[in-house]
Amino acid sequence: MTIWRSVLCSMQCIRDEHVCKRLHLRDPDLPVMCVHGSFLRHQASIQRTGLLPGGYGEQLRRGDLPKVHIHMGVVQQRNAGANDAVLRRGSTLAVYVDIRKAMKDGIKFYRTDGGAIITRGNRNGVLEPKYLTAYELLDGPRPGDSFVR
């Protein structure tokens, strides 16, 4: 078990550029908007603090390694909603993220092979509230939803 924990920890330390495609403001396929799936019970904390990588509570209690990235789905069109993006299973809150504004401030974003957008946030590991543009209450858990499509 200790060997596997070491391997997993090493995998999380791999530089993002080597495992994901770095996004740039000039990219023609840069998403208009991204959306992060969360839970209504976290909305006040998110509005106050911003988005943090998940897993610092439940995962650590289970003995798993915490996440290092904030995961988001892509909203393809300007007037599209969270239903057009793939969110975390069971999400009850959609948090919209203006990645262009964040990128202009130096926040790095990456696209995974599965199409998700990820970031480590600022140097403190936070995607600040100033980049969060809207919150949408979802209709409860949606079977089959996940982080990536």
Domain boundaries, the chain: 2-137
Predicted confidence (pLDDT) at residue 67 exceeds the cutoff of 50? yes
Per-residue pLDDT band for 53 (boundaries 50, 70, 90) equals: confident
The residue whose two tokens read 């988005």 is 51
Q: In what order do the strands lie in the sheet with 33-38?
A: 21-22, 109-111, 117-119, 70-75, 33-38, 93-97, 132-137
**What mean pLDDT comes out for the span 103-114?**
92
- This prediction's pTM: 0.73
Instruction: Report the mean per-residue pLDDT for the chain.
Output: 75
What's the gap between Cα 138 and its chain centre?
A: 17
**What mean pLDDT comes out for the span 40-61?**
78
pLDDT in tens, 119-142: 999 998 899 999 999 998 887 544
Q: Name beta bridge partners: 38.
A: 93
Predicted confidence (pLDDT) at residue 75 exceeds the cutoff of 60? yes
pLDDT score of 16? 52
Instruction: Label residue 68 exposed, middle or buried (CB < 10 Å: 0-12, 13-18, 19+).
Output: middle
β-bridge pairing 93-97 and 109-111: unpaired
Q: Which CATH class is domain 2-137?
A: alpha beta
